[in-house]
């Protein structure tokens, strides 16, 4: 039964075999500094749990019958459970806290304060700061790759232009119920085993592109990193759908929707897709055997989907992308999917006893000139290591060495008449990353290289 007396916020939580975590979840919500009985309504949809989750939920429901709704359904996945919860929504705002997570005591108060203070703007979404809670050590760490969104607390953005920011989690955000209803928005049950959150959130932003969005630093959401490694995310990589449905119904669908609705794909959405894809490359590069459960047809389809997705990603977005992956991955993306090169490249150098060791990444071995203390030297032996993706060439790692006794002050390197760098040996401290800039004007280059 819906409770139309709750003023502010509903929580929709899909429950599946989380008996171990439910009490902490409930305590974190019921003990909020914002009055729980007046402001918060919990809708728990039991997606066919086989443990004691139902018993624990009913115990709490008996204590707070006006604030807790329990719904039982056959197992159908998180999206179907959340959609059933949306059918029972009656408050102005909704969020989707996962029942194995928990929130800080002032979580709802921070959100409520911000929303109340900004009634004059068309606010559609509030993102909250996701912190990792490590089960094994019982500690919270603010180390999520997207934590940069909270550097400027409470800054307001247009939904169509979040700058470099992105929101992938429906659990750590609040949405307006009327906008969800107006858009007839539901979680797409075909997008699994992950990315269903990001798909829902970003359709919501696309549909409400003229509204406003903000990110709240002091509203802290605690995402549980389970010690047993049995979360949905942990098992996603062994699912066929990860390499097909997630990309087709999730990533590609978002890109096409934005292109149709707006006439372009916003930078934040391109970054959202790149962030998601980054984990595939980290997982698969030089480890294609991890996909041995896929047929060749599955692999071919996966590769084709990647090719199509990258047609919507701008070269500039790839060049500027700074999350998850190393620069050599971006270098390969540009070569393979955009047939171009990065604005700059990097060479890595460190000193090991009496040797300067260098390495860099490129699609093919480059011709290069070397000068040590303003004198040309013979090109040293270049060693090549091949990196593969889907058993195909992805990028190569090249390395060479120079004896430190041969160098007094500096080393100048020019690659393929396109890039150059000058390395001052006193700047080499530990592993040093040197930016290799694009070729300077010919006259300056000739003066430099002689």
Sheet-wide strand order for 368-372? 375-377, 368-372, 410-415, 419-424, 432-438, 345-352, 355-362, 392-403, 383-389
> What token pair was written down for 324?
């998850």
> What token pair was written down for 224?
């549980």
Calculate the alpha carbon distances from 407 to 93, 178, 294, 404 in Å.
Answer: 65, 69, 52, 5
With a cut of 70, which residues of the chain have pLDDT below it? Answer: 1-6, 228-234, 439-450
428-447 pLDDT, tens per residue? Answer: 989 999 888 776 544 444 44
Q: Which CATH architecture has domain 345-449?
A: Sandwich (2.60)
User: Under CATH, which number does the domain 9-228 receive?
Assistant: 3.90.550.10
Q: Report the C-alpha gap between 108 and 8 in whole angstroms.
A: 10
3-state secondary structure the chain: CCCCCCCCEEEEEEECCCCCCHHHHHHHHHCCCCCHHHHEEEEEEEECCCCCHHHHHHHHHHHCCCCEEEEEECCCCHHHHHHHHHCCCCCCEEECCCCCCEECCCHHHHHHHHHHHCCCCCEEEEEEEEEEEECCCCEEECCCCCHHHHCCCCCEEECCECCCCCCCCCCCEEEEHHHHHHCCCCCCCCCCCCCHHHHHHHHHHHHCCCCEEEEEEEEEEEEEECCCCCCHHHHHHHCHHHHCHHHHHHHHHHHHHHHHHHCCCCHHHHHHHHHHHHHHHHHHCCCHHHHCCCCHHHHHHHHHHHHHHHCCCCHHHHHHCCCCCCHHHHHHHHHHHHCCCCCCEEEEEEEECCEEEEEEEECCCCCEEEEECCEEECCCCCEEEEEEECCEEEEEEEEEEEEHHHCCCEEEEEECCCEEEEEEHHHCCCCEEEEEEECCCHHHHHHHHC
Q: Report the C-alpha gap between 105 and 367 in whole angstroms.
A: 60
pLDDT at 349: 95
Q: Which of 220, 215, 198 is nearest to 123 (CA)?
A: 215
Backbone angles phi, psi at 193, to 5 degrees: -90, -5
Q: What is the CA radius of gyration of the chain?
A: 26
pLDDT at 171: 98
Q: Report the C-alpha gap between 159 and 262 in whole angstroms.
A: 12
| Other CB atoms within 10 A of residue 234 CB | 12
């Amino acid at each position: 039964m819906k409770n139309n007396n709750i003023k502010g916020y509903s929580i929709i939580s899909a429950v599946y075999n989380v008996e171990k975590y439910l009490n902490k979840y409930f305590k974190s919500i019921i003990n909020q500094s914002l009055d729980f009985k007046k402001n918060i309504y919990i809708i728990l949809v039991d997606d066919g749990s086989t443990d004691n989750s139902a018993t624990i939920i009913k115990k709490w429901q008996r204590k707070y019958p006006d604030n807790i709704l329990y719904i039982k359904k056959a197992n159908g996945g998180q999206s179907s459970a959340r959609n059933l919860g949306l059918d029972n929504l009656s408050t102005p705002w909704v969020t989707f806290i996962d029942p194995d997570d928990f929130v800080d005591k002032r979580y709802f108060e921070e959100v409520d304060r911000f929303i109340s203070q900004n009634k004059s703007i068309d606010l559609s979404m509030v993102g909250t700061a996701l912190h990792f809670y490590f089960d094994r050590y019982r500690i919270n760490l603010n180390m999520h790759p997207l934590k940069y969104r909270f550097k400027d607390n409470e800054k307001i953005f247009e939904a169509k232009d979040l700058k470099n920011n992105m929101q992938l989690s429906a659990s750590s955000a609040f949405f307006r119920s009327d906008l969800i209803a107006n858009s007839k928005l539901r979680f797409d049950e075909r997008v699994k085993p992950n990315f269903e959150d990001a798909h829902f959130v970003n359709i919501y932003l696309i549909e409400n592109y003229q509204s406003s969005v903000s990110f709240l630093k002091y509203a802290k959401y605690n995402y549980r990193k389970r010690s047993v490694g049995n979360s949905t995310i942990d098992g996603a990589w062994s699912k066929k759908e990860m390499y097909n449905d997630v990309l087709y119904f999730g990533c590609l669908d978002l890109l096409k929707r934005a292109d149709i609705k707006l006439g372009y794909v916003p930078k934040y959405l391109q970054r959202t897709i790149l962030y998601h894809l980054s984990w595939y490359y980290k997982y698969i590069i030089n480890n294609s055997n991890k996909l041995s459960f896929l047929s060749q047809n599955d692999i071919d389809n996966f590769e084709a989907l990647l090719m199509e997705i990258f047609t919507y990603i701008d070269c500039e977005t790839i060049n500027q992308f700074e999350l998850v992956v190393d620069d050599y991955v971006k270098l390969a993306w540009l070569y393979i999917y955009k047939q171009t090169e990065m604005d700059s490249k990097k060479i890595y150098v460190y000193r090991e006893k009496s040797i300067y060791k260098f390495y860099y990444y490129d699609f093919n071995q480059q011709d290069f000139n070397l000068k040590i203390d303003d004198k040309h030297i013979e090109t040293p032996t270049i060693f090549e290591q091949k990196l593969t993706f889907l058993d195909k060439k992805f990028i190569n790692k090249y390395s060479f060495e120079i004896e430190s006794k041969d160098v007094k002050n500096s080393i100048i390197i020019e690659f393929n008449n396109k890039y150059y760098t000058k390395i001052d040996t006193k700047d080499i401290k530990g592993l040093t990353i040197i930016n290799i800039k694009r070729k300077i004007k010919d006259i300056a280059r000739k003066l430099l290289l002689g």
